[in-house]
């Protein structure tokens, strides 16, 4: 499994205890792009930053490789898609990981990846 940035952000919120348990149970990976997106947010509180830095230290981070870049380009050529979303999707494809996201509509059209929304399902 590969966590999308939005799932990481939700998991940092106290009301999403079940999501944190889901993550602990499945030990999914993260894209280096999610690291940049999440920790680069300019309005992070100091407590949130510390929590997220600890999370990223413990998580397996999948790198931005040439294969991921090529998939991101291919996806953006097919449909309007943000750089972050296309790179995360490319990472999921290259590493054959299910993409765990709450924004399934952004990725549903991509035949090469499986999606899971743990906030919409019982986890």
pLDDT in tens, 38-82: 999 888 889 889 989 988 988 999 999 999 999 999 999 999 999
16 is a domain residue: yes
Identify the residue whose tokens are 């680069």: 40
- Domain ranges, residue 88: 2-116
Q: Is residue 70 part of a domain?
A: yes
H/E segment holding residue 113: none
In a domain, 123, yes or no: no
76 is a domain residue: yes
Alpha helices in 59-117 (DSSP H): 66-78, 83-94
Nearest by Cα to 68 from 49, 54, 88, 52:
88
R_g of the chain, CA atoms, integer Å: 14
Quick check: is 122 in a domain? no
Q: Is residue 121 part of a domain?
A: no
CA distance 12 to 56: 12
Model confidence at 35, pLDDT cuts 50, 70, 90, reads very high
Q: What is the pTM of this model?
A: 0.89
Res 121: pLDDT: 64
- Tokens of residue 95, six digits: 């590493």
In a domain, 37, yes or no: yes
Domain count, the chain: 1
CATH of the domain at 105: 3.40.50.1010
Domain for residue 64, yes or no? Answer: yes
10 Å Cβ neighbour count for 17? 10
What six digits make up the tokens of 18? 């079940």
Strand order in the sheet with 2-3: 61-62, 29-31, 2-3, 99-100, 115-116
Task: Return mean pLDDT, the chain.
Answer: 92
């Amino acid at each position: 499994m590969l966590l999308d940035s939005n799932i990481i952000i939700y998991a940092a919120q106290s009301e999403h205890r079940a999501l944190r348990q889901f993550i602990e149970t499945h030990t999914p990976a993260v894209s280096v792009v999610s690291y940049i997106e999440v920790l680069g947010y300019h309005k992070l509180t100091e407590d949130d930053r510390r929590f997220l830095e600890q999370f990223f230290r413990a998580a397996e981070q999948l790198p931005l490789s040439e294969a991921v870049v090529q998939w991101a380009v291919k996806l953006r050529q097919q449909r309007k898609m943000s750089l972050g979303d296309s790179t995360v999707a490319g990472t999921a494809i290259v590493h054959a990981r299910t993409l765990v996201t709450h924004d399934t509509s952004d990725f549903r059209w991509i035949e090469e990846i499986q999606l899971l929304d743990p906030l919409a399902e019982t986890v």
